Amino acid sequence: MWIDSHCHLDFISSHTEVSLFGERLDALNIEKVIVPTVSPSNIQDVLQLSKNNDWCHYAIGFHPLYVNDITYKDLELLDGYLTNYKPVAVGEIGLDFFKKNNNHDWQEEIFIKQLKLAKKHELPVILHVRGAIDDVLKNLRRINVCGGIAHAFNGSLQQANQFITMGFKLGFGGAMTYARATHLQTLAKILPLESIVLETDTPDIPPAWLNKGEQNSPEELPKIGQFLATIRGLKIAEMAAIIRENTYQALPKLSKLYT
Ligand SMILES: [Zn+2]
């Protein structure tokens, strides 16, 4: 069965949409969905989503594009959440230097503090990395966390190998399904199979087959999985089993206790 390792379900769905999706899980062959938080303001929504749906698991962290509103007090709050709510990872955290803005130092400070919290709580991290791969790698070399996922990976083969060496899996999703995405397709074809996890990043990064205005959703995951299976020359069931195993490796708390 498939696991969507990165899905902002709380950003899109009404209560009804979520329960309808929950009812279709078996038919879609989807086992679990991981929802990372982005700021203090959506933690309660994400926790509630998980409470209502046993297939929905959460990571807790502050996204680099939301750090302008973050205070040191919020980091203490995060420390408390990591102790009391036992997320599968610290995330979504990272660096986004894609947009030219002047908060890069603050982003990096908040990122480093969250890496230290991940280390303290022995949790993996779910990373958002945009226009800042080498900066993220530099900090991961300094603060030795227990792996995790570099979500929506779009770097070079060499950078991919650096993440893999540090125990990370790389997240692939809708972006690789476009005809022009030859670099991502090459990576998806040649990277070690055990280093890949799949995601929809709902509501962002719609796959190529959605029409303009159609909403991305975790329901697209099996087709993304089929796309990867074709690239790798594997049967879809084999691909799903490998992705499932890889996701459990990246986020060990998903297994056993949490099934
Ligand atoms: Zn995200």
Per-chain mean pLDDT for the chain: 95
Lowest mean pLDDT among 21-30, 89-98, 141-150, 179-188: 21-30
Residue 92, preceding bond cis, omega within 30 degrees?
yes
Q: What is the Å distance from ligand 1's center to 178 Cα?
A: 20
Residues 145 and 168: beta-carbon distance below 8 Å? no
Residue 56 has pLDDT above 60, yes or no: yes
Distance CA 195, CA 80 (A): 31
Residue 15 has pLDDT above 90, yes or no: no
Q: What is the Å distance from ligand 1's center to 126 Cα?
A: 9
Enter the pTM of the model: 0.96
Q: In CATH, what class is 2-258?
A: alpha beta
Q: What is the Å distance from ligand 1's center to 6 Cα?
A: 6
Distance CA 219, CA 217 (A): 5
Which chain residues have CB less than 5 Å from ligand 1, an ion? 92
Q: What is the Å distance from ligand 1's center to 165 Cα?
A: 23
Distance CA 25, CA 4 (A): 12
What are the two backbone dihedrals, phi and then psi, of residue 141, each rounded to the nearest 5 degrees?
A: -70, -35
Residue 16 has pLDDT above 90, yes or no: no
Listed by start position, the domains of the chain span 2-258
Tell me: the pLDDT tens digits for 116-158?
999 999 999 999 999 999 999 999 999 999 999 999 999 999 9
Residue 251 has pLDDT above 70, yes or no: yes
Q: What is the Å distance from ligand 1's center to 200 Cα?
A: 9
Radius of gyration of the chain (CA): 17
- On the CB side of 202, CA atoms within 13 Å amount to 24
Please state, for a pLDDT cut of 70, what percent of the chain lies above it: 98
Residue 203, preceding bond cis, omega within 30 degrees?
yes
Query: In the structure encoding, which two tokens stand for residue 101, read together?
Result: 């803005």
Q: What is the Å distance from ligand 1's center to 51 Cα?
A: 20
Q: What is the Å distance from ligand 1's center to 148 Cα?
A: 14
Tell me: the pLDDT tens digits for 100-127?
878 999 999 999 999 999 999 999 999 9
Distance CA 88, CA 81 (A): 12
Per-residue confidence at 256, pLDDT binned at 50, 70, 90? low
Paired strand residues for 95? 129
**Minimal CA–CA distance to 113: which of 83, 143, 156, 136?**
143
Give the pLDDT score at 199.
Answer: 98
Give the pLDDT score at 259.
Answer: 45
Q: What is the Å distance from ligand 1's center to 142 Cα?
A: 24
Q: What is the Å distance from ligand 1's center to 38 Cα?
A: 8
Q: What is the Å distance from ligand 1's center to 74 Cα?
A: 19
What are the two backbone dihedrals, phi and then psi, of residue 209, each rounded to the nearest 5 degrees?
A: -80, -10
Q: What is the Å distance from ligand 1's center to 89 Cα?
A: 13
Residue 43 has pLDDT above 50, yes or no: yes
Q: What is the Å distance from ligand 1's center to 111 Cα?
A: 15
Q: What is the Å distance from ligand 1's center to 91 Cα?
A: 9
Q: What is the Å distance from ligand 1's center to 93 Cα?
A: 9
Residue 66 has pLDDT above 90, yes or no: yes
Per-residue confidence at 13, pLDDT binned at 50, 70, 90? low
Q: What is the Å distance from ligand 1's center to 256 Cα?
A: 25
Helix (H/G/I), strand (E/B), else coil: 30 = strand
